[in-house]
C-alpha cells in the first residue's frame, strides 16, 4: 500500500478536537462547557482527570502546527470550542477566542496545510445545558447563530466546515446512557436531542451558506458496519435495530429528508416526531451538503437478547428501545478500546452512504486506534506501536479499495494527531500517532507517525 495507490488529489490529514487537546479551560474568557462540568462528577471519568491540561495545545499551538506540517499532512481537522467564542452560548464574539483559531488557521495555511474546522465536537456551553441542552429546540437556533458568527470571522481563512461531529454520541451517549456529558438518562427522549442536533446542523448550514457562499460545508457521522451474529430472524432484527439507531437514524434525515419509521417505532417516538420534526425541519436537515464526513472505527456483530430477562438491564443503554440486543465477541482482533478491527467495514459504510446520495463526495474524517502500547518514550527516543501502524495501513488499504470500487471517497483523516483526553477514558487511552508526555508536554512522533509521514511522502 503506497500513497500513489490513491488518487493524486486524495486529501490526507490528521484530526483532533478542542476539549481533547486544548486545556486552558479558563483562559481568555472561555466559558464552561458541559465537559468541564461532567468531568468533575465523581466516577464519570475513568482516571478522574479533566481536559486540563490535556495537550496544552492552546498555549503550544505554533509548535503543533509545525509538527503537522513536518509530518507532511495536506490537511488538519480541528474543532472550535463554542464556549471560547460565546462563553454562555449567546451574545457577541469573544475576540480572544476567535483570535486563537485565526492564528491556528493562518499558521496552517502558511505551512501549506488546509484547515478543516468542525463547529461542534461536543463542547456545548454549560449555560445552554442549564436551559435544557439539546433536548431544547432553541439550542439548535443558538448553534446556528454561533455558526454564523464563526464563519463570518474565519471564513476568509477556513473554507472546509463540518457542522457536527458524531451526533449519535452527543444524543445517545450524552442523554441516554449518560456516559458522556451532560450525563443524563433520558431514555428514548434522547432521540429528541438527536433531532435538535440535526436541526442545528440544518440551520447552521443555512447560516454558513448565507454568510460565506464560497464555504464547503458538510457534517460528520460515526457509522458502524453492522451484521447479525446468525441468519436467524431474531438476530437479523437485532442488526436492523442497531444499524437503524447508529446509522440510518442519521443518514436518512441528512441524505433523504426522513427518519426511518422502524427506528421511531423501536424508540416509541413516532408521535413526538410526527408532531415536532416538521416537514420544514426535514427540508433544512436534508439541504444539499458539499460532502459527508464519516468516522469509522469498527464493526458490530449483534444478536437478539438471550432471553426476556436480559432486556431488563439496570444500566441505562445507549440503544433505547433495543436495550437487550447483545454485542457479540467474534474472536477477531480488537483494539485497546475493545473495538473489533475490521477495515472492510469502512467500505461497507461508505457504500451505505453512497447508495443514498450517489453524487455526494465522502471523506473519512476520523479513523484510528488506541492500543496499550508503551505510554513512555524508549531510550532511543522511540515509541514502538506496530499495532497502530498495521491498523492505519489496513484502513488506508480499505480507502484504496473503496476508490477502486468507484466510491467517491476524497480523503482520510487519521485520529488522532497526538495522544489526548479520551472523554470518559480520560488519559488512559492513547490514539495519537504522536506520543504526548502529560508531565512535560513533550511530543514524540511514534513509529506509526513515522510510518504515516513516509506514506505521505510516498516513500513507504
Residues that bind ligand IFM (CB under 6 A): 17, 20, 166, 295, 366, 415, 422, 431
CB of 169 to ligand IFM, least distance (A): 7
Residue with cell 457521522: 221
Catalytic residues: 166, 366
Residue number, 153 or 448, with CB nearest to ligand IFM: 448
Residue nearest to ligand IFM (CB): 17
CB of 22 to ligand IFM, least distance (A): 13
CB of 288 to ligand IFM, least distance (A): 25
**Number of other CB atoms surrounding residue 351 within 10 Å:** 15
Residue number, 151 or 222, with CB nearest to ligand IFM: 222
Instruction: Indicate left, alpha or beta for 43 from its phi (over 0: left) and psi (-120 to 50: alpha).
Output: left
Residue number, 166 or 235, with CB nearest to ligand IFM: 166
Residue with cell 452560548: 89
CB of 79 to ligand IFM, least distance (A): 9
Is the backbone peptide bond immediately before 64 cis, with ω within 30 degrees of 0?
no
Which of 398, 7, 345 has the alpha carbon at shortest distance from 353?
Answer: 345
Residue number, 291 or 431, with CB nearest to ligand IFM: 431
What is the Cα–Cα distance from 128 to 133, expressed in whole angstroms?
5
Three-state DSSP state, 211? helix
Contacts of 348 (CB under 8 A, 6+ apart): 225
CB of 237 to ligand IFM, least distance (A): 28
Kindly tell me the burial class for residue 447, based on how many C-beta atoms sit within 10 Å of its own C-beta (0-12, 13-18, 19 or more).
Answer: middle
Residue number, 122 or 249, with CB nearest to ligand IFM: 122
In b/e form, how buried is each residue of 6-20, taking b as 16+ CB within 10 angstroms? Answer: beeebbbbbbbbbbb
Residue number, 149 or 176, with CB nearest to ligand IFM: 176
DSSP E strand stretches across 339-442: 362-366, 409-415, 434-436
Contacts of 15 (CB under 8 A, 6+ apart): 76, 77, 78, 365, 366, 413, 414, 415, 416, 417
Residue number, 20 or 269, with CB nearest to ligand IFM: 20
Instruction: Indicate left, alpha or beta for 56 from its phi (over 0: left) and psi (-120 to 50: alpha).
Output: left
Residue number, 146 or 296, with CB nearest to ligand IFM: 296
CB of 17 to ligand IFM, least distance (A): 5
What is the Cα–Cα distance from 83 to 61, expressed in whole angstroms?
18
Residue number, 54 or 154, with CB nearest to ligand IFM: 54
CB of 224 to ligand IFM, least distance (A): 12
What is the Cα–Cα distance from 283 to 241, expressed in whole angstroms?
25
CB of 261 to ligand IFM, least distance (A): 29
**How many residues belong to the chain?**
460
CB of 166 to ligand IFM, least distance (A): 6
Long-range CB contacts for residues 238-245, cutoff 8 Å, separation at least 24: 238/302, 238/303, 238/304, 238/305, 238/322, 238/325, 238/326, 239/302, 241/266, 241/302, 241/319, 241/321, 241/322, 241/325, 242/300, 242/302, 242/319, 242/322, 242/325, 245/168, 245/172, 245/319, 245/321, 245/322
Kindly tell me the burial class for residue 217, based on how many C-beta atoms sit within 10 Å of its own C-beta (0-12, 13-18, 19 or more).
Answer: buried
Which of 104, 100, 120 has the alpha carbon at shortest distance from 33?
Answer: 120
| Chain CA centroid to CA 63, Å | 24
Amino acid at each position: 500500500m503506497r500513497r500513489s495507490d490513491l488518487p493524486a488529489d486524495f486529501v490526507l490529514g490528521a484530526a483532533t478536537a478542542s476539549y481533547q487537546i486544548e486545556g486552558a479551560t479558563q483562559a481568555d474568557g472561555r466559558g464552561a462547557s458541559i465537559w468541564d462540568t461532567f468531568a468533575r462528577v465523581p466516577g464519570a471519568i475513568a482516571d478522574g482527570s479533566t481536559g486540563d491540561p490535556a495537550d496544552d495545545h492552546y498555549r503550544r499551538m505554533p509548535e503543533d502546527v509545525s509538527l503537522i506540517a513536518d509530518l507532511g499532512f495536506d490537511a488538519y481537522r480541528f474543532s472550535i470550542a463554542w464556549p471560547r467564542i460565546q462563553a454562555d452560548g449567546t451574545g457577541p464574539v469573544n475576540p480572544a477566542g476567535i483570535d486563537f483559531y485565526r492564528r491556528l488557521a493562518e499558521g496552517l495555511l502558511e505551512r501549506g496545510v488546509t484547515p478543516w474546522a468542525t463547529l461542534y465536537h461536543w463542547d456545548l456551553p454549560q449555560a445552554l445545558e442549564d436551559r435544557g441542552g439539546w433536548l431544547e429546540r432553541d439550542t439548535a437556533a443558538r448553534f446556528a447563530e454561533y455558526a454564523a458568527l464563526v464563519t463570518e470571522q474565519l471564513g476568509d481563512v477556513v473554507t472546509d466546515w463540518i457542522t457536527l461531529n458524531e451526533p449519535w454520541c452527543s444524543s445517545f451517549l450524552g442523554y441516554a446512557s449518560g456516559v458522556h456529558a451532560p450525563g443524563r438518562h433520558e431514555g428514548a427522549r434522547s432521540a429528541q436531542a438527536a433531532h435538535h442536533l440535526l436541526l442545528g446542523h440544518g440551520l447552521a448550514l443555512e447560516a454558513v451558506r448565507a454568510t460565506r457562499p464560497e464555504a464547503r460545508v458538510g457534517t460528520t457521522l460515526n457509522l458502524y458496519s453492522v451484521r447479525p451474529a446468525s441468519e436467524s430472524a431474531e438476530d437479523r432484527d437485532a442488526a436492523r435495530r442497531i444499524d437503524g439507531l447508529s446509522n440510518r437514524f442519521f443518514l436518512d434525515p441528512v441524505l433523504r429528508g426522513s427518519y426511518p419509521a422502524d427506528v421511531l417505532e423501536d424508540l416509541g417516538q413516532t408521535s413526538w416526531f410526527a408532531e415536532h420534526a416538521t416537514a420544514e425541519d426535514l427540508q433544512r436537515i436534508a439541504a444539499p451538503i458539499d460532502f459527508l464526513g464519516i468516522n469509522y472505527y469498527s464493526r458490530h456483530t449483534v444478536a437478539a437478547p438471550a432471553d426476556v430477562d436480559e432486556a431488563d438491564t439496570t444500566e441505562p443503554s445507549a440503544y433505547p428501545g433495543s436495550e437487550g440486543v447483545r454485542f457479540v465477541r467474534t474472536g477477531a482482533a480488537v483494539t485497546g478500546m475493545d473495538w473489533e478491527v475490521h477495515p472492510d467495514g469502512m467500505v461497507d459504510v461508505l457504500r451505505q452512504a453512497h447508495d443514498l446520495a450517489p453524487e455526494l463526495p465522502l471523506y473519512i474524517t476520523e479513523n484510528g486506534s488506541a492500543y496499550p502500547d508503551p505510554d513512555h518514550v524508549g531510550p532511543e527516543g522511540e515509541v514502538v506501536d506496530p499495532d497502530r501502524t498495521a491498523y492505519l495501513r489496513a484502513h488506508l488499504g480499505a480507502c484504496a479499495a473503496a476508490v477502486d470500487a468507484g466510491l467517491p471517497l476524497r480523503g482520510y483523516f487519521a485520529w488522532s494527531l497526538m495522544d489526548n483526553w479520551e472523554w470518559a477514558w480520560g488519559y488512559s487511552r492513547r490514539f495519537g500517532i504522536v506520543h504526548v508526555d502529560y508531565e512535560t508536554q513533550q511530543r514524540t512522533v511514534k513509529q506509526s507517525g513515522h510510518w504515516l509521514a513516509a506514506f505521505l511522502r510516498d516513500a513507504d
